[in-house]
Amino acid sequence: MFCPQCGQQQITASLRFCSRCGFPLEAVLQVLATGGLLPSYPGPISKEPSPKRKGVKQGALLLLLGIILVPLLGVLSSFNAGNLFDILTPMAAIFFFLGGLLRMLYAALFEEGAPRYRPMMPTYTPPVMPAQFQATPGAGALPPAAVPPPTWRTRPNTAEIFQPPSITENTTRLLDKDDPTKQ
């Protein structure tokens, strides 16, 4: 496959971007796989909100209800000296505020969200070539493999090669000649 923007031939048909210019090739592959038709994406199956969204809404409703009811119960407990409102006010505060936060946390962490629809990536199959453009079955596109000539000699064993003396040996011999005490 070739990039439609720069003409670079791609190594495989599964690349998502052009290796030369970075052009996104995913849509090109979908168009080629569907025979030139633009791919259609399925819409949501149902209009009903996901369980995660429902849980977050329930938690927010509990919090808002707590913001309204707890102060109202506090005012009623100050006017009424009865024991019912003295116990009911802190219980309502705990239930609504802590319950609302825990419900939203549970929904956000453990319940399923809306399904994500990602179109299936079709694999590209090249079109069938007419017989007039196909190569003959006997002829290959490449020449036959090169065979080494029969007189090829084997590689020498480098362990048998004579090692030249090191540079320091030659320099040491020169220093020994110049030393007057040794003569």
Residue ranges per domain, the chain?
1-41, 51-110
Backbone dihedral region of 73: left (phi > 0), alpha (psi from -120 to 50 degrees) or beta? alpha
pTM: 0.41
- Identify which has the larger pLDDT, 175 or 119: 175
Cα 60 from chain centroid?
34
Nearest to 44 by CA among 119, 111, 115: 115
Cβ atoms of residues 39 and 26 within 8 Å: no
> What is the pLDDT, as a whole number, of residue 102?
94
Secondary structure E strands in the chain: none
Model confidence band, residue 84 (pLDDT cutoffs 50, 70, 90): confident
Rounded CA-CA distance 55/58 in Å is: 5
Percent over 70 (pLDDT), the chain:
69
- Are the C-beta atoms of 46 and 55 separated by less than 8 Å? no
Does residue 43 register a pLDDT over 60? no
Place of tokens 């102060």: 71
The confidence score (pLDDT) of residue 4 equals 80
Q: Tell me the pLDDT tens digit for each residue of 95-132.
A: 999 999 999 999 999 988 876 666 555 566 666 777 66
